[in-house]
A and B are shown apart, each in its own frame.
Chain A
Amino acid sequence: HRFIGGDSICILRQAFFLSCVSASISGDTGVIHVLESEADLEWPLSKGPNPPYMVLLESSLFTRSIMMKMKNESNRVAGVAVVVPNTSPPEFSPHTTCPNENTGVYSDNYGPNLAHCNTTVWNPRGNGLSYEEFDFPVFSLKEDNETEFIKQCYLDHNRAVNGSAPQYPLCAMQLFSHMHAVTNTPTCMRRNDINFSINPEMVCDPLGDYNVWGSIRPYNDTVFGHKENESVVIAAARLDSRAFFWEVSTGAEGSVSGFVTLLAAAQALREVTHEAPPTRNILFAFFQGETFDYIGSSRMVYDMENGKFVIDLDNIHSVLEIGQVAVHSGTNLFLHSDPVSRRNNTVNDENLVNNLQSSTAGLSFLLVEPNVSQPLPPSSLQRFLRAQPIPGIVLADHESAFNNRYYESFYDNAANLNLTYPSDLSPEEQLEFVTDTAKSLTDVATVVARALYKQAGGNESLVNNIKADPKIVTQMLYGFLVSSNNSWFQAVMAPELKNILKPSPPEYYVGVAMSSTPTRLVQYLLANLTGAATNLTQSQCQKPDELPNESRQMYSYLWVQGIVPPNSTERDSFCVRASVRLTKAVSPAFELGEYASKDYSTWTESRWKFIKARIFLVASRDLEMLTLGVGVAVLFTSLLVTYFISTKADVLFSSTREPASAAY
């Protein structure tokens, strides 16, 4: 056998329907077949004489029609392995065409003609593969030596010559990816609760992580609920994304562009809000789990409704959300708002729109309101509107349908944002190099910062001094899309967290372990960019309440590594004081125990023991039966002969043992 590495499979369940099932517990074995074209699908599905087959697909063949055909004949397909190439196809989105359609604000009661993408199909390229249920495991393989070995094995042994069946032994692959959860979320959560043994076996876990939020003026972390005379402008972005395969989620345009812009805007506002604080507070919120029916934002709204957050919904003045903003120079950005609440005059978005549009003075693009009376795109703002009418705008690069050709797929990477570096730079030089993408996003961040300052009632004459820093933007883009283990990220992170930094971009899938890398990175970046460096020592940083002017209730104190000064090897670590907090981002459905809830996200992830694959040759049935037959024959023969000899032993071995009995 030869073990091969592979990343796999979709493993999620949701209430009411199953998406992506697993293999059997002893692994699925199938004869390898490398698919050459869609017509070649006949061989594994009908003509091939040695089912079941393990189909190896190039990514260009990983389409809905081929996967659906295999799904229909799943008793002949033992599994599918997809080779993930290094270059992207023209377009590919395994997400649905209407993301989060059941948990947004539009429903039969609210804008029924706008619900379920009746007016605008947001993700027209979506093929919905991520939400299909397959009876066999689907693996991803990188395009490297291992995959070449598999293809060579297929060519050597399994190739059908002129339509005749290939000869045994055949090359086969076995995938182990048994998932413990079954059916749907209510069933598997119920099974989690069965506590007959000392170590109860958990079979699935709810998806979730932490939201990151920070504010210009700090809030006391122990005082929850409505705050009198407090008016807050919320600036929101989402942190997570996903792909069909679990471990390769990148989300460059889908999420990284948005939250990097917001982080840069937060940094741009630091100076001016210290000199001339605006009337209203500004709260920066980064939501996790938005891909899976708005886990983070629905939780924050739920906490606000139930007095478990430092402010409540009545304190919110307006919301500005940064959506997908992969802007190129010269193109415009669009301001989406909710037509239903505008039509009913329950909210007044005009101020926000004006503030935004006037902030683009001197920059190369304009902010335009879309022509069509269309709903809000999928965004966290929808969850706020579900609870209460609030003025809000979603900033995006698409006028109606998404421009992103790879929404929620593993191709939404740095190349999708045209993030290119000159070829002769070292990693450190690449970190510092200001790319064109960074310049564009810096302009967007400047606009956002200025608009937020004006919206919060700040001093108009100081607005034009607000500028986002392109160096910070380009460093963030490098760290989030190329390599997270760079000197800047190392400097801003805590010493005990430095192991989450890797030479590759982080994974943006929200996960269940409550330890997602992007959350931690954004937390520490927001703290470093909006907070203040203090003189506290490490022990003081852990217990700041002992000092007279410091309070852990108002701020969080984070000990960060700092940079390495030129002539030394020790890092200049220091304590950062910032009003940056984490709040739990797990769907309220799990707090309430309503696992079949239609209002909240009910996504869970199955547990599994191990996932691996191996390839080997299989022999024909005939040879195996022959071996068994020979063995049984040998056994019977030897039993007979031995019986014969042992009964006649006296005769056979008589000559010297009993000389007296020889009568002859």
Chain B
Amino acid sequence: MTASVFFGCTFIAFGPAIALFLFTIARDPLRVIFLIAGAFFWLCSLLLSSLVWFITVQISNKESSSQQKGLLIFGVVLSVLLQETFRFGYYKLLKKANEGLLMLSAEETMPISIRQLAYVSGLGFGFMSGAFSMVNILADSVGPGTIGIHGDSQHYFLSSAFMTMAIILLHMFWGVVFFDSCEKQHWWSLAVVVISHLLVSCLTFQNPQYVGSLVPTYIIVFLVGLWAFFCSGGSLRNLKLCLTCKDKDFLLANHRPR
């Protein structure tokens, strides 16, 4: 649809992710490494689920559309489960790596905490997931036309961009909550993460009723975001302090020599 749509959709989809990367991750090389490793883990999960999908499609009956639809649902569910499994695997790997890092580094404390790792790995998952969702659509949006000649909705590009933004944010939040619940052995909250992921993915079956899929998705983004905020040490009091700028005194008070 021309360059303006291309850039518009890119900024919508990847805006928050780019901002987060620039301000929080880019300065610390260790975080960058873990981000990329996280992206790679997501990619592996996608590879595995696409392999299974490919095989099942080949052996299925291509003519029957209900079977194809069923196959699609199965594919989505399998992919979500595999992503979460790989997230768990990444967590285990990071725990092991942490001990190794501790031995290697000169300092006494860990250079990067498990909470930061949670955030970075979630963002890594989000980046890769967003890229795969969005890049093909962006490539098509550069051309001179828009969707619709076969009767589909015109708002496909915009809604895909917003969906991708939501997914990236969600992956980040899920990462935080996931690692936190693994740390604290709260298995039920782990299940909630998996269920909410499944819910969001299945909401996309509502498309092309984009309102029906986007609005609930953003509600879930908000809720999970709140939960992640509390998990990572935030509280309403801190928020109030921040927003009313009373924190200056707080900070100064904090740094007064004790």
Give chain A's interface residues, CB within 8 Å of chain B: 1-2, 29, 153, 169, 171-172, 174, 615-619, 623-632, 634-635, 637-639, 641-643, 646, 648, 650-657, 661, 663
Contacts and interface: CB of A to CB of B under 8 A. Distances in A.
A618 B146 contact: yes
Given A617-B146, A624-B5, A653-B232, A634 B158 contact: no
Given A634-B165, A635-B18, A651 B241 contact: yes
B233 A654 contact: yes
B4 A651 contact: no
A153 B235 contact: no
B132 interface: no
B154 A617 contact: yes
A150 to B, nearest CB: 10
A630 B15 CA distance: 11
A627 B158 contact: yes
A421 B254 CA distance: 103
A624 B254 CA distance: 50
Interface in B1-24: 1-2, 4-5, 7-12, 15-16, 18-20, 22-24
11 contacts: A615-B149, A616-B143, A616-B146, A631-B8, A632-B8, A634-B16, A639-B23, A652-B234, A653-B234, A654-B233, A655-B235
Which of A171, A625, A638, A642 has the largest number of chain B CB atoms within 10 A?
A638
Contacts of A650: 251
Contact of B242 (A617, A629, A648): A648
A224 to B, nearest CB: 59
Interface string B230-249: 00111100110110000100
A657 B154 contact: no
B234 A619 contact: no
Contacts of A618: 1, 144-146
5 tightest A-B CB contacts, nearest first: A616-B145, A631-B11, A631-B8, A627-B8, A635-B15
Interface of B: 1-2, 4-5, 7-12, 15-16, 18-20, 22-24, 113, 115, 143-150, 154, 157-158, 161, 165, 229, 232-235, 238-239, 241-242, 247, 250-251, 253-254
A651 B9 contact: no
A617 B154 CA distance: 9
Given A631-B8, A642-B16, A653-B232, 5 more contacts: A2-B149, A616-B148, A626-B8, A651-B242, A661-B254
A616 B144 contact: yes
A651 B251 CA distance: 8
Contacts of B253: 663
Contacts of B22: 639, 642
A619 B2 CA distance: 10
Given A634-B15, A646-B23, A1 B8 contact: no
B131 to A, nearest CB: 17
A626 B8 CA distance: 8
Contacts of B165: 634
Contact of A656 (B4, B18, B233, B250): B233
B234 A617 contact: no
Contacts of A172: 144-145
A634 B15 CA distance: 6
Contacts of B20: 638, 642
A631 B4 CA distance: 9
A652 to B, nearest CB: 5
Given A617-B149, A635-B18, A628 B8 contact: yes
Given A624-B2, A635-B19, A642-B20, A153 B234 contact: no
Q: Select the residue from A153, A646, A652 with max chain B CB neighbours within 10 A.
A: A652
B238 A654 contact: yes
A638 B18 CA distance: 9
B15 A631 contact: yes
A653 B145 CA distance: 46
Max count, chain B CB within 10 A of own CB: residue among A2, A616, A656: A616
A630 B12 contact: yes
Given A628-B8, A663-B253, A652 B238 contact: yes
A174 B241 contact: no
A58 to B, nearest CB: 22
Nearest to B158: A627
Contacts of B254: 661, 663
Contacts of B148: 169, 616-617
A629 to B, nearest CB: 7
Residue from the set B1, B7, B24 with the largest chain A CB neighbour count within 10 Å: B1
A629 B113 CA distance: 38
Contacts of A29: 144
Contacts of A631: 7-12, 15, 161
B8 A171 contact: no
A625 B4 contact: yes
Contacts of B235: 655
A629 B15 CA distance: 13
A392 to B, nearest CB: 57
B82 to A, nearest CB: 29
A153 B145 CA distance: 14
